[in-house]
Amino acid sequence: MKLHKESKGTITVATILFIIISVLAIYFLEMWSLLIIMPLLVVYSLVFWFFRVPVRDILEHRENVIAPVDGKVVMIKEVEETEFLKEKAIQVSIFMSPLNVHICRYPVSGKVIYKKYHPGKYLVAWHEKSSTENERTTVAVESMTNHKVVFRQIAGYVARRIVFYCNEGDQSKAGHEFGFIKFGSRMDVFLPLDTEIICKIGDITKGGLDVIARMKD
């Protein structure tokens, strides 16, 4: 199983803690140490599972909007996007649990025209205000269909580290990685009002594969 590059520090710390606690448990508890070691092994295995990088066949897209993350669609509504677009847009929000793949992908193909990191609070990721008050990043892309699309990584109550690798001027390819979030959070995508929304609330998405909307060319 391939592991994400963001896993190095977390797995190193988890390995050291696992070894120390296991050794202490064996020394002090002897045969009863399994009561400590076995649950600890499950948690240790979940750390590796969280940082997995699945193999996915990413296709070329022009007007399609691709699910940027694995998760569940929790919001589809018309909102005022005040940071970059400064106009009404359709917001599609996808919530990620700690068991989902947490690679963040470009939802559309085009050119990166804006990026910004915002420090903030750590409200639960499904809270509506988390989109504007939590620690977050905002990226805007000029799509191949000549639309401006904004998408936002949002830290949640558990997630305390967001990374994004794109820069203004970069070419974005729908479905390809641009960042990562630890350990459970949300992605918001803001689309033009005339976009055809294909997904619905409650849908389970696979990042890089599922088409969630289609923009007019």
- pLDDT tens digits, one per residue of 85-129: 999 999 999 999 888 999 999 999 999 999 999 987 766 655 566
Across-strand partners of 163? 180
- CB within 8 Å of 36: residues ≥ 6 apart: 21, 22, 25, 29
Whether the CB-CB separation of 179 and 162 falls below 8 Å is answered with yes
Hey, which residues are catalytic here? Answer: 185
Nearest to 156 by CA among 75, 90, 63, 94: 94
Q: Hey, what amino acid is at 87?
A: E
pTM: 0.89
**What is the 3-class SS of 117-180, one letter each residue?**
EECCECCCCCCCCHHHHECEEEEEEEECCCCEEEEEEEECCCCCEEEECCCCCCEECCCCEEEE
Instruction: Give yes or no for residue 159 having a pLDDT over 70.
Output: no
CATH number assigned to the domain covering 64-214: 2.70.70.10
> Token match 């923009």: residue?
215
Reduced to 3 states (helix: H, G, I; strand: E, B; else coil), residue 40 is helix
User: How many CB atoms lie under 10 A from the CB of residue 59?
Assistant: 12
* Per-residue pLDDT tens over the stretch 160-209: 578 999 999 999 999 999 999 886 688 999 999 999 999 999 999 999 99
